[in-house]
Amino acid sequence: MELWIPITIAAAFLQNLRSALQKHLQGSLGTRGASFVRFGYGFPLAILYVLVLRLAVGLPFPALNWTFAFWAVIGGLAQIFATMLLVYLFSLRNFAVGTAYSKTEPVQAAIFGFVLLGERITFGAVVAIIVGVIGVMLISLARAPLSWRNILAALTSRTALIGIASGAVFGISAVAYRSASLSLQGPGPIMDAAVTLACVTTFQTAFMLVWMGWKDKREIVDVLRSWRSSSLVGIAGVLGSACWFTAMSLQQVAYVRALGQIELVFTFMASWFLFHERVNRTEAAGCLLIVCGILGLLFL
């Protein structure tokens, strides 16, 4: 098994855990505060991870450059706004469906990867990605009779548009992070990914602190008061990001993000067991299609 596969599965699990924790926090901290904790409580761990790789493992620091800085800033800003869209989406639909809408990301990431990086994927991978996206769409339509009118309405609803926008911006951030990591040309993908993660999360923390201080300083106080639960989001977030960044340093974004749709399997488990939200047969069928798409991606 190629190394990027288990790393991506771990990233998907940790991302699902982080999203579930953020859903809990959204009611008390609001969309901006619940989004901030992912970065604010995560960046010290990201820096510590780099120091461990340097001091304990002996990997040298890569040389930073302006290309890296450009892509890191683009990816960091894109991830902030994609996270805020996703957290807001949880207030409009249940946890599973809210996450499903954003999972059109692999197709969008494949497009961005082709346009920005010139990356190409095989025909079998295209089919597998499309099967997975059909599963996502099936989940989004699970609460309404299946018809062309309902399909159009579902895809043009406010909830769907926010979810698709979230997936698009996540796709941009993923391609930007891969570009940033590859531009370092350091000792290897692990250190390159770790340095990218540390720089990006530090920038995101500073950016959001300034933004929250400008908009409403009480949000910062609320985040500090909720440090016990917020720190869990930060830990899950930075560990998940470390896995994502490493996987995308090893493999094309479209493949990594397509395999990452396994997160929806974890999402349905969380939706059922943690939030006690009912999952119907159509949603389960959509989940099965996503799994089939993942298997096709791995074996085609």
Among the residue ranges 43-47, 129-133, 185-189, 246-250, the one predicted with the least confidence is 129-133
* Span 134-152, pLDDT tens digits: 776 776 666 666 666 666 6
**Is the model's pLDDT at 118 over the cut of 70?**
no
If you average pLDDT over residues 154-180, what whole number do you get? 79
Instruction: State the DSSP code for 63.
Output: P
Q: Residue 155 pLDDT more than 70?
A: no
Secondary structure (3-state) at 287: helix
Span 191-215, pLDDT tens digits: 998 999 999 999 999 998 888 888 7
Query: What is the pLDDT averaged over residues 16-22?
Result: 74
Give the mean pLDDT of 115-129.
Answer: 72
User: What is the spatial distance between Cα 259 and Cα 6, in angstroms, rounded to a whole number?
Assistant: 10
**Residue-by-residue DSSP string for 165-232:** HHHHHHHHHHHHHHHHHHHH--S-HHHHHHHHHHHHHHHHHHHHHHHHHHH-HHHHHHHHHTHHHHHH
What are the pLDDT digits (tens) for 43-95?
Answer: 888 999 999 999 988 889 898 999 999 999 999 999 888 878 877 776 665 55
The two tokens of residue 92 are 């409009």
Confidence tier at 278 by pLDDT (50, 70, 90): low
The pLDDT, as a whole number, for residue 294 is 66
CB atoms inside a 10 Å sphere around CB 126 = 16
- How far CA 92 is from CA of 14, 82, 97, in Å, comes to 23, 16, 10
How many whole angstroms from its chain centre is CA 204?
15
- Under 8 Å CB-to-CB from 299, ≥6 apart: which residues? none
* Structure token digits, residue 100: 């499903």
